[in-house]
Amino acid sequence: METRETRMAHAGWTQNLIAAGRLQDGERVLVVVDEPLAPEGAELLAAVQDAGADARLELWTGERPLQKAPQAVLDAAETADLSLFLAEKPLPEEGGARFTLLQTMTAHGGRQIFLGFVDGELLRGELSQPASDLERPARDLLAQLEGAETIRVRGRSGTDLTLRIAGRPWRSDALPLQPGQMANYPGGEVFVAPHSDGADGVLVVDLTVPYTVEGLVDEPVVLRFEGGRVTSIEGGRAAQLLREIVEGAGKGGDVIAELGIGFNPTVSPRGHVMLDEKAARTAHVAIGRNTGPYGGDNEASIHIDCVFSEPEVEADGKRVELPRYAP
């Protein structure tokens, strides 16, 4: 069945999400927003309803940080075909609750798109611009990476990590969203979940660590990995706050979770993790949970993406040709 065109004019960002979610006429759609985005949630609800969906709006609300997703949200997710989840103020401690919603959606073949750290200004501005078609570079990268057993990734500021990924699937949010999959918006990365004991070396984060300082890091954050676990976190204020998050997360919070490679040329790093991790000439390494659609097996209450610049990648010793757009 073809995607149905909306009958009325709606904001560009709502149309971008409808297109990214591959909304089909008559599908059941769950719109979830936190309380600061309640007006935008109502706007998105109207747009998806006008696109022919049976839509429902639920608030991500309760005593924060939430220990579990609101029951009304989970009940709706049990039968929804598509979930569009927008959060202006996601909390690191709510990673488990967010994953519960994601797993509820994908377990029955539902699809989910998540936008974190967004506000009305960003939605009506940059995220309302026409989306880039990045399927071709995504498929090119996947062709170079699929089947590799070991990845070595280096970065301009000193990152040098070896990751063991044998048997783990590479995925991309730049391909058409399929049943049982999740994506962020905007898209523009390929990613993989390394084995929980499969990370050794140093990660130097010179761009972004969410939930710490505002914007870009105050100074590079240096994480050392041994046998898949973080053995030290050094640096300035951002490093201190990241240490506190990891220490408070408990079991699994210090374990390698993801390697992602960004290739979206329309995005420039600015200290906004959901954009920075997609930007061309960046990569990110995450620690914490990587179960479900990520393809891993490490359970944790957090998932923290750490973004660095100018990656160089080798797959089983062979250089991976990354898209090199002009700075």
Question: Taking a C-beta distance cutoff of 8 angstroms, is the pair 82, 102 a contact?
Answer: no
Backbone angles phi, psi at 25, to 5 degrees: -55, 130
What pLDDT is stored for residue 325 in this prediction?
A: 64
Which is more confident, 7 or 251? 251
Concatenate the DSSP letters of all residues of 199-212 into one string. Answer: EEEEEEE-SB-TTS
Residues in the chain: 327
Report pTM: 0.91
pLDDT tens, position by position, 58-116: 999 999 999 999 999 999 999 999 999 999 999 999 999 999 999 999 999 999 999 99
Question: Region 166-172: what's the mean pLDDT?
Answer: 97
| pLDDT of 216 higher than 50 | yes
Residues in contact with 209: Cβ distance below 8 Å, sequence separation at least 6, in sequence order: 217, 221, 238, 241, 242, 273, 304, 306, 307
**What percentage of the chain exceeds 70 in pLDDT?**
97
Concatenate the DSSP letters of all residues of 258-302 into one string. Answer: EEEEE-BTT---SS-HHHHTTBTTEEEEEEE---GGG------S-
pLDDT tens, position by position, 220-238: 999 999 999 999 999 999 9
Residues in contact with 135: Cβ distance below 8 Å, sequence separation at least 6, in sequence order: 174, 175, 176
What pLDDT is stored for residue 3 in this prediction?
A: 43
Nearest residue to 244 (alpha-carbon basis) of 273, 205, 212, 285: 212
| pLDDT of 327 higher than 90 | no
Sheet of 318-319: strand order equals 229-234, 221-226, 199-205, 160-164, 150-154, 312-315, 318-319
| pLDDT of 199 higher than 50 | yes
Question: Can you tell me the distance from the alpha carbon of 244 to that of 256, in angstroms, rounded to the nearest whole number?
Answer: 17
| pLDDT of 315 higher than 50 | yes
Residue linked to tokens 């149905």: 4
